[in-house]
Structure 1
């Protein structure tokens, strides 16, 4: 049993060994073919992938080339349009430059013509100034003389300093606007007169008139020494203030006996009764001092006539104040003071107030020394003489320069001061209007100044 096993094992092993080469031989022809096929399929796939990649790249390149070509065309068209726009702008700029050059040439020509016109105008102005200088000065001096005459009339007739200052200030304004060196002396004289008028201490007419009116009202209501229709009761001298009732000498203690309380109450009652009787008896008697005994003998009708006379004297004093009559003012105010002291009760409130007002009015002086405008008038006269002399010298030079002038022109030439003064208003106004180019104001402006000054004087007087 044991001997057969090894043989089987060996036999089978040999059989297997013989079978393996046969299998190898049988499988060897079919083994290489599938490998080649797989390689071919891989190559085909790779080739296809490469072809696809190449196609995608080619499509991308073609698309990008197309986009770039379109963008290049667009940029080229834009560049052409920009070139056309720039060409149009350059043509417009060249046209504008040509127009500017033409305008510059026109402006230069206009400036040249304007310079020539200005030269002609300056020469004409100089000639006109030389021709009308003296006439303008005469017209200006006449206007100033008119204003100075108004100031002189205001000072002489009404003593109105404010109106005189207004007239002289208007003359100052005209001389300042004219700015004539030859009239400097006249301007200095007017300035001096204005300063003197401003330094004058004037009278406050409104305040004095109001005090006179107040005094007239007090004269109507103030009581006199006798009763009348205006004041039926005569005011007595101010009596001392009524004293208070004396206080009780001692207070009553409730704890005291009844008889002490009775004695204290009787003493208080008797003291109060005596005080009341003494006050009543003191009011029955009034003592006053009267210097003029005739004041107590006046009747009510005479008292009314006296009040009327006082009113008339106050009206006369007010009229003297307005008319600048110091003598009448002093007489009337002193008479009013004397009548108030003699006939009125000056111890009353109204009488004392009326007397104090009357004394203040009597002590007020309305006589004021007013300066004159003689310096301005003398300066105007001197300027007229100088202007007349210069006019005569100018006429003589003109006659010497043109001997062939007609005799009629020589006869019409102004001679001396009288000819300068005889210049009519129309000729003065024409000369003043012609003198406007040399810097002075025309006659219309000066007339407006005169009208404004007259209106201011009228308002001040009102």
Structure 2
């Protein structure tokens, strides 16, 4: 039974199928679809061709840009090499300049130290001389001038290690400026004026002398009467009685009055010399002696004599001795700076 069934199935398969009827509409739709597919394929082909052309164009542009970029890169590399060469040259020149600058600095330091050492030696000598003049001669103005010159020299040097020296110099200048002022020139001028005017001072005896009165002309016409009047006048001049508090002034002869004036001049000259030497004792002694001579032998009522005596009293009250400071601090500062400069030079 199974075999019969199998044979029926095979016969059914081998049997030619019956033709079915295909409608016309389906054919049309298939044709349209086929045409659309062909159109799409053609469009895709054209788009692909355009895309290929665009890609080729972009590739060509990229190749051109790449060549230009490579050229620019090569130029940049060349410029970089030139810049590196110039930079190396500048570095070499800078190193050479720094070396020269260092050499110049070393030379300047050496010259500066030598100049500082030389200036300090000169300053020490000036200070020593000014200190001697100040202590021995009392020359305050000279010491001030020397200290001012030293301060200007320190300003020109402008070295930091010399600040302490300049501070000491400034303190000594302020100390000297604060000292009482003695007008040596003015006092000397007054003494010279007294000496020159001494010849015109009247002596005490000159105040007691009276001019001889004129003889009145006699009304008598006879020569005998005129002769008798003259004789009588001469007899009255032989004896005169005067009161005088200082009779020794009347005993001066013309020669003695000359030596008196010269003695007073010598006293005043010695006083002027003592003034320059700051010898107050000799100065006051000479002024007092000249004042005593004027009061004793000269006419005090005369204006010239009174003025001279008043001037001598004023000069006798002048103080000459002033405690002068020492310049030891400035000298010590200069010597210390000089020692430091010598060590730095070594």
Do they superpose with TM above 0.5? Answer: yes
Alpha carbons of structure 1 residues 127 and 220: separation in structure 2 relative to 1, 3 Å: same
**How far has the Cα of 1:330 moved from its partner?**
0.7
Alignment of 1:336-415 (within 5 A): 336-388=290-342
**How far has the Cα of 1:137 moved from its partner?**
3.3
Taking the aligned partners of 2:296 and 2:135, their CA distance within structure 1 comes to 39
Alpha carbons of structure 1 residues 380 and 235: separation in structure 2 relative to 1, 3 Å: farther
1:219 aligns with 2:198: yes
Alpha carbons of structure 1 residues 122 and 308: separation in structure 2 relative to 1, 3 Å: same
**Corresponding residue number in structure 2 for 1:400:** none
**How far has the Cα of 1:375 moved from its partner?**
1.0
RMSD: 3.1
Taking the aligned partners of 2:208 and 2:242, their CA distance within structure 1 comes to 13
TM-score normalized by the length of structure 1: 0.45
TM-score normalized by the length of structure 2: 0.59
Taking the aligned partners of 2:110 and 2:205, their CA distance within structure 1 comes to 85
Alpha carbons of structure 1 residues 235 and 198: separation in structure 2 relative to 1, 3 Å: farther
Alpha carbons of structure 1 residues 300 and 359: separation in structure 2 relative to 1, 3 Å: same
Structure 2 SS opposite 1:364:
coil
Taking the aligned partners of 1:298 and 1:389, their CA distance within structure 2 comes to 77
Alpha carbons of structure 1 residues 142 and 384: separation in structure 2 relative to 1, 3 Å: same
**Corresponding residue number in structure 2 for 1:302:** 256
Taking the aligned partners of 1:118 and 1:158, their CA distance within structure 2 comes to 57
**Corresponding residue number in structure 1 for 2:277:** 323
**Length, aligned pairs only:** 231
1:125 aligns with 2:125: no
Conserved? CA contact 1:220–1:307, under 8 Å:
yes
1:395-431 C-alpha deviation (Å, 9 max, x unpaired): 6xxxxxxxxxxxxxxxxxxxxxxxxxxxxxxxxxxxx
Structure 2 SS opposite 1:226:
helix
Structure 1 SS opposite 2:196:
helix
Structure 2 SS opposite 1:360:
helix
Conserved? CA contact 1:226–1:295, under 8 Å:
yes
Segments of 5+ residues of structure 1 without an aligned counterpart are 1-104, 228-232, 237-284, 396-462
Segments of 5+ residues of structure 2 without an aligned counterpart are 1-82, 211-239
Conserved? CA contact 1:218–1:351, under 8 Å:
no
Taking the aligned partners of 2:123 and 2:139, their CA distance within structure 1 comes to 19
Taking the aligned partners of 1:234 and 1:366, their CA distance within structure 2 comes to 40
1:203-234 C-alpha deviation (Å, 9 max, x unpaired): 2222112211221233211111113xxxxx65
Alpha carbons of structure 1 residues 197 and 315: separation in structure 2 relative to 1, 3 Å: same
Alignment of 1:40-79 (within 5 A): none
Taking the aligned partners of 2:243 and 2:322, their CA distance within structure 1 comes to 42
**How far has the Cα of 1:370 moved from its partner?**
1.9
Conserved? CA contact 2:124–2:335, under 8 Å:
no
Conserved? CA contact 2:117–2:338, under 8 Å:
yes
Taking the aligned partners of 1:133 and 1:299, their CA distance within structure 2 comes to 76
Taking the aligned partners of 2:114 and 2:169, their CA distance within structure 1 comes to 22
